Amino acid sequence: MDLIQRGQKKPYIEFFFLDRKDLILNSFRFGNVNHYKNTIQEFFNLLDMARDFSVNDIKKTVFEFSLVINNIAFHLGLSMEHELSQYLEEGLPKTKLNGIEWLKKFIIHTFDTLYNKLYMDQQDKKKEQVYWIRSYIESHFDENISLNYFEETCYLCKEYLLKLFKSEFGYTIYEYTLMIRMKRAKELLLSSDFDIREITTQVGYNDSNYFCKAFKKYYGMAPSKYRKEYKSSNAIKNMAVSQKNIPDGSQESCFIP
């Protein structure tokens, strides 16, 4: 709708927001703050040029605007009913001058509230997604973990997912998967008699040589040597404990009659 010329009686703006509902919805969906702010300014320009915009017109605009905002919020998976009713509880101003200023503040406040609510909701959803990815890795580290799977499941590009995950946990998805696999491999080496090939498959690798290289890079020695060193060290500790518990000659003499 084109702007009216100054001096015209009253612009036909009752359906201003209804006519632009889809455009406003898309500006929120795509995070285009400038677009919805330009829409607000366009309406304010019309409002400032209206010579005969009554209190009743203000009420109609509030009703139309609230209807549009509730509809947009619904399509975004949100609700603005509480926020709108809370703002309207004080009641509309009784005079035209106060009413127009109040209407402007109401529109700005409502748009900003919806945007902030959408942003926080999106942040919460993204946080839920990266925590789900972490949980998935911890439960499926013995399988082939693909970034493509996370991309398709979370509807976010791989680059952005990697950035979100690193920001939340301090590790990339690859680093976290490697850490979980190496910890589990170490547990199996030290607490079971599984051979290296069996451990390889249990921690999500298909090739024993590749697993051994990854393990050595992570812990500084090959899996077989790590197991041997641990068992040797453990045997020495056990021997030391056993010797410590054997009484020396002076102790024995105390019990000789």
Average pLDDT over residues 162-190: 94
146 plus 116 within the same structural domain: no
Q: How far apart are CA 213 and CA 182, in angstroms?
A: 11
> Which of 108-122, 140-154, 238-252 comes out lowest in average pLDDT?
238-252
Question: Could you read off the pLDDT of 107-140 as tens digits, one per residue?
Answer: 999 998 998 888 887 788 888 889 999 999 999 9
101 plus 170 within the same structural domain: no
> To the nearest whole percent, how much of the chain has pLDDT over 90?
35
93 pLDDT tier (thresholds 50, 70, 90): low
| Residue 92 forms part of a structural domain | yes
CA 200 to each of CA 42, 141, 177, 192: distance values in angstroms, whole numbers, following the listed order: 65, 12, 14, 13
| Residue 75 forms part of a structural domain | yes
Question: Could you read off the pLDDT of 23-47 as tens digits, one per residue?
Answer: 888 888 877 788 888 988 989 888 8
Domain span at residue 161 reads 141-233
Q: At which of 121, 149, 179 does a domain end?
A: 121
Q: How far apart are CA 241 and CA 115, in angstroms?
A: 67
145 plus 116 within the same structural domain: no
CA atoms within 13 Å, Cβ hemisphere of 161:
22
| Residue 84 forms part of a structural domain | yes
112 plus 198 within the same structural domain: no
- Least Cα distance to 67 among 84, 43, 50 occurs for 84
| Residue 253 forms part of a structural domain | no
Our count of domains for the chain comes to 2
Q: What does the H/E/C string look like for the chain?
A: CCCCCCCCCCCCCCCHHHHCHHHHHHHHHCCCHHHHHHHHHHHHHHHHCCCCCCHHHHHHHHHHHHHHHHHHHHHCCCCCHHHHHHHHCCCCCCCHHHHHHHHHHHHHHHHHHHHHHHHHHHHHHHHHHHHHHHHHHHHHCCCCCCHHHHHHHHCCCHHHHHHHHHHHHCCCHHHHHHHHHHHHHHHHHHHCCCCHHHHHHHCCCCCHHHHHHHHHHHHCCCHHHHHHHHHHHHHHHHHHHHHHCCCCHHHHHHCCC
117 plus 146 within the same structural domain: no
Q: At which of 121, 156, 177 does a domain end?
A: 121
Looking up tokens 């942040």 gives: 123
95 pLDDT tier (thresholds 50, 70, 90): low
| Residue 131 forms part of a structural domain | no
Q: Out of 26-40, 69-83, 214-228, give the one with best mean pLDDT.
A: 214-228
User: Is residue 212 scored above 50 in pLDDT?
Assistant: yes
| Residue 3 forms part of a structural domain | no
Q: What integer pLDDT is reported at residue 9 of this predicted model? A: 41
Q: At which of 121, 156, 176 does a domain end?
A: 121
21 plus 81 within the same structural domain: yes
Residue type, 186: K
103 plus 150 within the same structural domain: no
32 plus 117 within the same structural domain: yes
97 pLDDT tier (thresholds 50, 70, 90): low
151 pLDDT tier (thresholds 50, 70, 90): confident
| Residue 9 forms part of a structural domain | no
Instruction: Answer with the residue of higher pLDDT: 240 or 257.
Output: 240
Structure-block tokens of residue 37 = 């702010």
159 plus 221 within the same structural domain: yes
pTM of the model: 0.55
| Residue 58 forms part of a structural domain | yes
CATH assignment of the domain containing 193: 1.10.10.60
Q: What integer pLDDT is reported at residue 92 of this predicted model? A: 67
